[in-house]
Structure 1
C-alpha cells in the first residue's frame, strides 16, 4: 500500500451541507395576469351568454343556416363557456399546487363538459357558417385543432407524461381564449374596412361582412396559438442553488 494513505472511512456529508436546489415560492402577486384574465373572461361571458340563455332565436347574433342551427349554436356557446371557466381553474398555479384534486377534476370538466362537446358542435356550425368560405375554413380548422390539442393533452396526462400534458394544454388554452380576441378584432376591422364598402367591396355589404368575419376568425386563433408556442419555446431562467 502507498504510505500515507488514509484508511479511515469517509464521513457522510450531512444533509444540511449538501447543495439543495430550491424553487422559490411564488406568491399570488407574482402572477399578475391571473386576476385580469379572470375579469376579462367574466366580462366576456356576461356579454356573450344572455342572448343564448333566453333560447330565443331572434336574439342570436349569428343567422341560422339550417333548422337546428340555433340549438347547435346554444350548445356550442354553453359548453364553450364551461371550457373558459374551467380553463382558468386549470392554469391558476395556486390551485394546481395546493389543490391537485380540484385541478384534476376541473381538467376532466374542461375536456368532457367543455371542449369536446363545444368543439364537435363547432365543426357543424362552422361548416355551415353564413360568413363565407374563408371564415368556414378557419372555423373548421380551429375546431379540429382545439379538439386535437385538448385530446393530446388529456392522453399525455393519462400516460403520466406531464411535460407533454402541460404543453398541449397551454396550446388548447390559447385556442379556448382566442374567441375573446376574435370579438375584439371584429369592431376594429369594421372601423377600418367600413369606409371602403363602396370602393374595395364594390358596394357589397355582404362582401364587407364576410371580410370582417374572416379577418377576425383567422387572426384571432393564429395569433393566440403562435403566442402560446413562443411562450413555450422561451428559455427558462436558471434557478440558483442554495448551499
Structure 2
C-alpha cells in the first residue's frame, strides 16, 4: 500500500488549495458587496452578491474536502471517514455551490462567452457529482471512482481558471490600445471568456485521458485463439 509520501502530488495540491481558499474567502466573509472581486451586474444588482457569497463558501468546502477524497492512503485507511466526508463534499459543497453557480453564471458581467461556459460548467459539475454519488449508493465503486475523478477535475477548475485569467490579462494588456482600442471592458471579456473555457475543459480532458489510460493499462493482453489439434495422418492402405 502506497504511503502518503509516495504520492508526490498530494502535499503540493493541498498547499495550493489552502492558499487559494485563504485568498478567496476573506472578501466574502465581510458580507460587504463593495468587497466583492466580481463586479455586480446591473440586472441583478446586490442579489448577485448574495448568491456569490454562498457559492464561494460552499465551493471552498468542496475544494478542501476533495483533497482528502482523492488521497488514496486516506481513502484506504479510513473508509468510514471517506464516506462521511464524501457526503459533505456532495451535499455541503458541490450541490449548493453548483446551484448558485447556475444563477450567477447566467448573469455574469463578463459577457456571453463566459456566461455560456459558466452555465455548462455548473450543469456538468452537478451532473457528474450526482452520478458518482448514486453509483456509490448502488455499490458500484469502480464507476463511482471514475465519476468522482471527473467531479474533482471540475471542482479544481476554479483554480486553473484563475491561472488562465492571469495569463490572458498579462498577455493581452500590451494590446489594449491597438487590438482593443483602449476598451478595458472588451479586454476583460476576451480574457474572461478564454480563461473560463480553458479553465474547466483542460482539467476535464486530462481527467478523461487519465481514466482511459488506466483502463487501457488494466486490460489483459489479447491472446490468440487456440488452434484445434490436428489429427494424425492415417497411412493409406
- Give the TM bin, normalised by the shorter chain: 0.7 to 0.9
The CA distance in 1 between the partners of 2:190 and 2:77, in whole Å, is 46
- Match of 2:156, SS state, is helix
Residue 236 of structure 2 is aligned to residue 226 of structure 1: no
Normalised by the length of structure 2, the TM-score is: 0.88
Structure 1 stretches of 4+ with a deviation exceeding 4 A read none
The CA distance in 1 between the partners of 2:218 and 2:137, in whole Å, is 29
Q: CA deviation at 1:108?
A: 0.4
Normalised by the length of structure 1, the TM-score is: 0.86
Deviation per CA, 1:13-72: give whole Å up to 9, x if none: xxxxxxxxxxxx212222111111000000001111110111111110111121311110
- Match of 2:217, SS state, is coil
Q: CA deviation at 1:97?
A: 0.5
- Total equivalences in the alignment: 215
Match of 2:30 in 1: 54
Structure-to-structure mapping, 1:20-35, within 5 angstroms: 25-35=1-11
Match of 2:52 in 1: 73
Deviation per CA, 1:84-105: give whole Å up to 9, x if none: 0111111111111111010000
- Structure 1 runs not aligned, ≥5 long: 1-24
Structure-to-structure mapping, 1:158-169, within 5 angstroms: 158-169=137-148
Match of 2:217 in 1: 236
- Match of 1:236, SS state, is helix
Higher relative contact order (CA 8 A, sep 6+): 1
Q: CA deviation at 1:238?
A: 8.9
Match of 2:177 in 1: 198
Match of 1:92 in 2: 71
Match of 1:42 in 2: 18
The CA distance in 2 between the partners of 1:28 and 1:46, in whole Å, is 24
The CA distance in 2 between the partners of 1:125 and 1:174, in whole Å, is 21
The CA distance in 2 between the partners of 1:205 and 1:38, in whole Å, is 35
